[in-house]
């Protein structure tokens, strides 16, 4: 047997030791990481956790396949046809190897959907934020970010050479004060926020943020990953929800892995900004493009959204509101906005959260038990994501089980 490579780096060895200590101290939490799915991630999903001899079948509250499009017949057919025509992969970075015509059609479709001049694709939503934020700012520029923004936004900030500024979560006044105090003559200002903050299920006060950006001459970048197909009269996201023109935002960032049921990221905006990002964002320049069959599936999902977005997004919001009402009837307090199909229940204690999640798994409910480091110490929570695959009967029965899981004396392990 080949000898294992010895670890001689003290920092790596120390980080490995800390991870193993955490693994021993919280075995139930570790056992929930990296579950293996054995079916499509729809209403019922097959799940096998580490150590389980065989998969179980669960009601699925752990998927952002919000509109259930991943199994829509026309979406699957589009993937199949593209695989037959183009093969399984993109086989290289688009700047030299080229992009397939289906990639071009998807970019044009995304620009049309967001009512912008252009759009460009990234291998993932995560890499989109890395590329956008790290490529736009110079050393004299300032990038201001909401303190509760997604990890990918902060990682893009770390890669940037720009001056960094964090503002209090959803605090428009704090944002403006910080921009005024950090302004340099001739320098650019970028403001980055999210439409829907997925861990707390609250909305950005986008109209106020946009007003500050106009007054201070800042470019506004909106991560709308969890709002596409969810908010707005036709599912176009946070701008539409607030009645803002798409031009209120300089760059609309989104992911293809949630409502559009594929994998990848994108950014839509003016032709000039998109061209600048296309030629300078390293995560896309030096990565292979998303597989053409995935692009075809996402394009089919986008066409469904263009055609049925009003009906689908309204149905999703109604279902999320129903689930919230069911939980509140059991005395469960829920943060966040009533229109968001993400329902976090903050328990605070990590062990109580793991116990409750295990209790629900035993009763056929697959949700998220979120503990440190995904959230700060003392902010552990259960998180449930509603999709159109779940019926009102599913939601009502799950609410009863959740109440038993988190209320004292219910027998939860």
**316 to each of 76, 232, 387, how far by Cα in Å?**
21, 12, 7
CA 97, chain centre distance (Å): 29
Catalytic residue among 135, 258, 358, 368: 258
Cα separation, 49 vs 35, whole angstroms:
5
Q: Annotate 87-99 with b (16+ C-beta within 10 A) or e (fewer).
A: eeebeebbeeeeb
Neighbours of 273 (CB within 10 A): 21
Give alpha helix (H) positions in 188-232.
206-216
Catalytic residue among 114, 226, 241, 252: 226
Tokens of 210: 């946009």
User: Residue 172: in which H helix or E strand, if any?
Assistant: helix 172-182
User: Does the annotation mark 8 as catalytic?
Assistant: no
Sign of the CA dihedral with 152 first, then 273, 160, and 200 last: negative
**Residues 280 and 88: beta-carbon distance below 8 Å:** no
User: Does the annotation mark 404 as catalytic?
Assistant: no
Burial class of residue 353, CB neighbours in 10 A (0-12, 13-18, 19+): buried
Three-class secondary structure of residue 409 per DSSP:
coil
Strands 265-269 and 118-122, how do they pair?
antiparallel
Left, alpha or beta for 24 (phi > 0: left; psi -120 to 50: alpha)?
alpha
Three-state DSSP string of 117-156: CEEEEECCHHHHHHHHHHHHCCCCCEEEEECCCCHHHHHH
Tokens of 220: 């506004």
**Residues 412 and 367: beta-carbon distance below 8 Å:** no
User: Does the annotation mark 198 as catalytic?
Assistant: yes
Cα separation, 217 vs 214, whole angstroms:
5
With tokens 């044009």, the residue in question is 108
Catalytic residue among 160, 198, 287, 301: 198
Any idea which residues carry the catalytic annotation? 198, 226, 258
């Amino acid at each position: 047997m080949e000898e294992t490579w010895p670890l001689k780096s003290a920092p790596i060895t120390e980080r490995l030791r800390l991870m193993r200590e955490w693994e021993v101290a919280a075995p139930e939490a570790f056992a929930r990481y990296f579950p293996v799915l054995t079916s499509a991630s729809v209403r019922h999903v097959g799940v096998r956790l580490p150590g389980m001899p065989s998969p179980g079948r669960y009601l699925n509250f752990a998927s952002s396949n919000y509109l259930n499009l991943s199994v829509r017949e026309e979406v699957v057919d589009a993937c199949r046809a593209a695989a037959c025509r183009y093969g399984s992969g993109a086989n290289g970075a688009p700047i030299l190897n080229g992009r397939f015509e289906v990639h071009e059609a998807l970019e044009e479709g995304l620009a049309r959907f967001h009512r912008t001049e252009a759009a460009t694709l990234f291998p993932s939503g995560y890499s989109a934020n890395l590329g956008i934020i790290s490529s736009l700012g110079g050393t004299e520029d300032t990038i201001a970010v909401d303190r509760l923004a997604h990890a990918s936004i902060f990682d893009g900030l770390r890669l940037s050479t720009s001056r960094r500024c964090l503002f209090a979560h959803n605090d428009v006044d704090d944002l403006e004060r910080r921009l005024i105090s950090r302004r340099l003559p001739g320098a650019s200002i970028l403001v980055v926020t999210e439409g829907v903050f997925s861990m707390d299920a609250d909305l950005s006060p986008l109209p106020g943020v946009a007003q500050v950006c106009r007054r201070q001459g800042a470019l506004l970048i909106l991560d709308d990953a969890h709002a596409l197909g969810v908010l707005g009269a036709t599912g176009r996201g946070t701008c539409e929800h607030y009645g803002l023109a798409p031009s209120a935002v300089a760059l609309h960032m989104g992911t293809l892995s949630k409502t559009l049921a594929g994998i990848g990221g994108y950014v839509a905006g003016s032709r000039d900004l998109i061209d600048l990002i296309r030629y300078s964002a390293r995560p896309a320049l030096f990565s292979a493009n998303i597989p053409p069959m995935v692009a075809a599936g996402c394009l089919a999902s986008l066409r469904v959204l263009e055609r049925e977005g009003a009906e689908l997004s309204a149905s999703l919001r109604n279902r999320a509101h129903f689930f919230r009402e069911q939980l509140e009837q059991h005395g469960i307090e829920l943060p966040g906005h009533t229109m968001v199909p993400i329902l976090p229940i903050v328990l605070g204690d990590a062990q109580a959260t793991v116990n409750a999640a295990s209790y629900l798994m035993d009763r056929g409910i697959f949700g998220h038990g979120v503990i440190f480091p995904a959230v700060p110490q003392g902010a552990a929570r259960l998180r449930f994501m509603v999709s159109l695959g779940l019926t009102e009967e599913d939601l009502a029965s799950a609410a009863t089980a959740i109440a038993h899981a988190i209320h004292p004396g219910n027998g939860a392990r």
